[in-house]
Amino acid sequence: MGKSKAAFLLICALPLASSGWAGAGAPFFNLPWFLQDVVAATQIETTAYEELRTMGEFEAEMHLRDQAEPTSAWITRTAETAGDVTDLDCTAFILRNYSDWQNDNAQDTGSVPQWREAFHGVAVFADYFSGFGGLRQVNLAAAVVSPGIPEQAFIDDRPGAISPEFLDAAAIRTGANFHRMGEAVSSLEMRLLRHETCDGFELYIWDFLR
């Protein structure tokens, strides 16, 4: 699959540490999808990402279907979610293609995500923890269609950390509160814990710590 094809296929504050909510009265249940979009932006570059995310849903859906071919790859999560996010391995994800999506959609349209949600070739698991001070920690496992995240998407002086420009790009989705999530995550220190090559995709494990 060529690079151009791969490009189209990426509330309360609690007194004790908690998973699933961030402080300042803002629910962060969409945080995993924000982080998925951050990684997706590294795959299709910020300009293309912003164009797609500012399209209407139907327009984006048709645009991405037009770009797709039977070999266009994407990733779904499997049921292998036992244990912590940082302990996940290749079995937590599976590589799919557009033909798989078409077949699934023909059998049961209600259980298949729209193509616009699979365009980036990225899938994630994420946990997050907060307290009175706001978001304190995020653990992120991201599967990315090979060859994986481009080297230029990482910060030179912080090995394994994704450049802030991709957080900024994902934050354009203000309707999903992505801008609030971007502000919270950008204050944390990002560290790549593990990177491994799987069958057709790359697996990255990060943590974000205050």
Task: Give the number of residues written for the chain.
Answer: 210
SS3 content of the chain, % helix, strand, coil (to 5): 40, 25, 35
In angstroms, the CA 201 to CA 204 distance is 10
62 against 195, higher pLDDT = 195
Distance of CA 83 to the CA centre of its chain: 20
Q: What is the mean pLDDT of residues 13-27?
A: 35
The ranges assigned to domains in the chain are 3-209
pLDDT in tens, 147-164: 999 999 999 888 899 999
> What is the pairing mode between strands 122-131 and 134-145?
antiparallel
In angstroms, the CA 24 to CA 143 distance is 31
Q: What is the mean pLDDT of residues 168-174?
A: 91
Residues forming beta bridges with residue 197, ordered by sequence position: 202
φ, ψ at 101 (rounded to 5°): -60, -45
Tell which residue, 101, 94, 104, has the closest CA to residue 117. 101
Q: In the prediction, which pLDDT does 39 show?
A: 94
Q: In the prediction, which pLDDT does 8 show?
A: 36
pLDDT in tens, 43-55: 888 998 888 888 8
Q: In the prediction, which pLDDT does 82 show?
A: 60
> Letter for the amino acid at 106?
A
Tell which residue, 64, 178, 195, 171, has the closest CA to residue 121. 64
pLDDT in tens, 89-125: 999 999 988 788 778 778 877 766 666 666 668 999 9
In angstroms, the CA 179 to CA 173 distance is 7
In angstroms, the CA 8 to CA 149 distance is 14
CB 81 within 8 Å of CB 92: yes
- Record the tokens describing residue 158, joined without a space: 């912080």
Q: In the prediction, which pLDDT does 81 show?
A: 61
> Letter for the amino acid at 77?
R
Percent above pLDDT 70 for the chain: 81
Question: Alpha carbon of 117 to those of 5, 23, 44, 171, 174: distances in Å?
Answer: 15, 28, 14, 16, 17
Q: What is the DSSP string of 77-90?
A: E-S---S-GGG--G
What value does the mean pLDDT of the chain take?
80
